[in-house]
A and B are shown apart, each in its own frame.
Chain A
Amino acid sequence: MIYFIADTWHLWLRYMRATIRLPIWIAVTLIQPVIWLTLFGQLFRRVVELPGFETGSYIEFLSPGVIIMTAMFSGAWSGMGLIDDLHHNVIDRMLATPLHRGAIITARILHASATVVVQSVIILVLSFILGAGWPSFAGTVGVLLAAALITAGFTAMSIGVALLARREETMIAVINFFGLPLAFLSATFMSSQLMPEWMQTVAKANPVNWAVSAARHAVLETNASAVWVNSSLLFVFTLVMVFLATGAFRVYRRTT
C-alpha cells in the first residue's frame, strides 16, 4: 500500500511535469470551450426566456455544461498518452520493475483530473468575464468535484480502450463516435425539461448528464441533494471504469 501511494505519486509527478512543460496544451484544450461559451452563449442567449431554465443568464447556465464537456473530452483523450507509452516501450520498461501495477492507471487518472480542475477554474473565470455570476465556495467545490469525477471515469475508460485497441486511429474513431452524442444527449446546452421525452430517458442513464446536473446545481445552488446524488452516481461510474481498465490491463499483459 505504501508502495502503491509512493509509485502513484512519482508517476503523477512525471505526468504533471510533462504537462507543465507544455502549458500550450492547456491553452489548446481551452480553445474549444471558449468557442462554445462565446458562440453558443451568443446564439442561444435568449433561449433562457423559455420556461424550464434555472437561471435568467444563458452563460451562467452554459458554463457548468461546458466545464463538464471539457472534462469529458480531456479524460477521453488521455488514453492517447498511454498508446504513445506503449509504442515507445515505456510500459514494458515499467512492467519489468517491481512498480505497483495499479499506480500506472491511478497516476494517469489523478493527473487528468488535476489538469481538468485547472481548466475548470479558467472556464469559471471566463464565464464570469462574459457576465455569469461567481459561484459560492461550496458551489465551486461542487462543480470542480463533478468535473474531476467525470474526468476520472472517462480517463479510466480511455485507458481501457487504449490497452485493448493499442492504436491511435481506433481511439480517435471511438471518441468521435461517442463524444458529442453523449454531450448532446445531456442537459449541457439545453434544459432537460425542453428535451423530447425519449432524450430525457436516455439522458438519465448518461454519466455526462449526471455530471452536468451535479455541476449546474452546485454552481446555481438550486438543489443540493441533486449534487450529492449525481456525484455519488459519478463516483460509482468511476469505480466501475477503473475496474474495467484494470481488467483491460490484465488482458494486455496476457496477450503480449
Chain B
Amino acid sequence: MTDAILVENLTKTYKGGVKALQGVSFRVGQGEIFGLLGPNGAGKSTTVRILSTLTQADGGRAEIGGYDVMHAAAGVRRSIGYVAQSTGVDRWATGRENLTLQAQMLRVPRSIVRARVSEMLAWMDLTEPADKLVNTYSGGMKRRLEIAMGLVHEPKVLFLDEPTTGLDPETRRALWLDLKRLRTERNVTVLLTTHYLEEADTLCDRLSIVDHGRVVVEGTPDSLKADIAGDTVTIDIGEATVQADTVLNNVDGVLEVIPDGALVTIRVRDGATAVPAVAAALGKAQITIHTMTVGRASLDDVYLKHTGHHYDAGSAPTTGGQK
C-alpha cells in the first residue's frame, strides 16, 4: 500500500537566504493523524505549503496519495483539503455560500453540491448560523467552517496548519473534540502542524518534532516520552555557570545534564532520591538554588532532549520568518 503522504528530503531556501527547510522527511499512512510540532519559524508551514502545491521545494520530493506535488499538482489539489493558519473564508458571504463555492472549486459533482454542503454544515454543527454572514461568526465557528470547507469534497488528505492558533483555551478544547471525530467518523489522513505540545500530545497518532528546518525526532507521543528514562528535575540556579554542570554530572543517579541558561534540567533515575543528593552537592559548591521541581517526562522534555533548548512556542529561534 502506498503512503498517504510521502516526504523525502525536502529543502527550501527563501529569497534572502533564509533556510526554511534543510532536508525534511516523513511518511504518513492512510487514516493517520500526523503532527508536525515545532516553534514558529521551524519550517512547519513551509512544509504544508509545499505539500499543498502553494510553493515549490528547491530539492527533495513529496507525494500525496501517489501524486507528485511538483509534477502532478492537479491530482494533488483534487486529493487534498487545505485549512490555512489564518482564516481563508470570505467574511462577506454566508457559511453556506462559502461552502458551496468551495465545493464548486473542488469539483464536487453539481447534482450533489447542495446535499453535501448541508451535510457538512450539520457535521460541524453550523446548520443554525449557515445563512448568516461569516463576519458575525465567533472564532471557533469560523474554524469549524474552514474545516468543513477542507472536507467538503471528501479528500484523502487534510492539511490543518495550526488549527487552534488564536483561539481561547476553551474554544481550543472544544475544537480538539471535533478534530478527534475526524479519526472516528471519517477515513481521512490528517497532517496537523502545531506549536502547542499539549495539542500534539492529545490529537496525534504520530508526530515529528521540527526545529530549524529539520526533523529532530519522530514517533508516537507515548514512545517519545518513554524514550526519556526516569524523571526530570529542573533547577533554577539564578545564573548559568559551567561549575554547576560539572557538579551535577558527578552526583550519583544523574543520567544527563542539559543546561539552558540559568535553568538546568537533569534527567535522573529516580526523582525522590536524587533531589536531596543534588541539593547537597550544589550547596557544597556554594551554588544557590532558587527553585527545584521534579516531574514525569513530558513532550517538553522530549523537545529539550533533542533540540538542546526549552520549548518556547512564541519565539522563533531561527533568524527566519515563515513568509
Contact = CB atoms under 8 A, between A and B. Distances in A.
Contact of B104 (A10, A18, A93): A10
Interface stretch (B77-85, B179-187, B256-264, B311-319): B77-85
B165 to A, nearest CB: 13
A229 B265 CA distance: 80
Given A6-B104, A92-B82, A256-B54, 14 more contacts: A7-B105, A14-B93, A21-B133, A22-B92, A89-B87, A89-B88, A92-B84, A93-B84, A96-B52, A96-B54, A96-B77, A96-B80, A97-B82, A254-B56
Contacts of B90: 14, 18, 90
| A18, A96, A97: residue with the most chain B Cβ atoms closer than 10 Å | A96
Contacts of B87: 88-89
B51 to A, nearest CB: 10
Interface in A176-230: none
A98 B56 CA distance: 17
A98 B74 contact: yes
Contacts of B85: 89
Given A89-B84, A255-B15, A21 B106 contact: no
Contact of A17 (B52, B82, B97, B105): B97
Interface size class of A (residues with CB under 8 A): 20 to 34
B136 interface: no
Contacts of A254: 56
B55 interface: yes
A80 to B, nearest CB: 14
A94 interface: yes
Interface string A100-132: 000000000000000000000000000000000
Interface of B: 15, 49, 52-56, 74, 77-78, 80, 82, 84-93, 97, 101-102, 104-107, 133, 149, 323
Contacts of B323: 256
Contacts of B88: 88-90, 92-93
Contacts of A98: 74, 77-78, 105-107
B97 A14 contact: yes
A3 B15 CA distance: 34
Interface string A220-256: 0000000000000000000000000000000000111
Contacts of B55: 256
B105 A95 contact: no
Contacts of A21: 92, 133
| B49, B80, B104: residue with the most chain A Cβ atoms closer than 10 Å | B104
Nearest to A85: B90
A96 B53 contact: yes
A10 B53 contact: no
A95 B53 contact: yes
A89 B149 CA distance: 14
Nearest to A256: B55
A5 interface: no
Contacts of A90: 88-90
Contacts of B91: 88
A97 B106 contact: yes
A18 B55 CA distance: 29
B127 to A, nearest CB: 21
A43 interface: no
Nearest to B92: A18
22 contacts: A6-B104, A7-B104, A10-B101, A14-B90, A14-B97, A21-B92, A89-B86, A90-B89, A92-B54, A93-B84, A93-B102, A94-B105, A95-B53, A95-B54, A96-B52, A96-B53, A96-B54, A96-B82, A99-B105, A254-B56, A255-B15, A256-B323
Nearest to B77: A98
A214 to B, nearest CB: 34
Nearest to B94: A17
Q: Which 4 pairs, one residue from A and one from B, show the smallest C-beta to C-beta distance?
A: A93-B88, A96-B82, A89-B88, A97-B105
Contacts of A18: 90, 92-93
A3 B104 CA distance: 10
Contacts of A88: 86-89, 91
A93 B82 contact: yes
A99 B85 CA distance: 20
Nearest to B107: A98
B93 A17 contact: yes
A90 B133 CA distance: 16
Nearest to B52: A96
B146 to A, nearest CB: 8
A86 B174 CA distance: 29
Nearest to A22: B92
Contacts of A256: 49, 54-55, 323
Contacts of A11: 101
Contacts of B80: 96
Contacts of A3: 107
A98 B92 CA distance: 23
A99 B107 CA distance: 8
Contacts of B53: 95-96
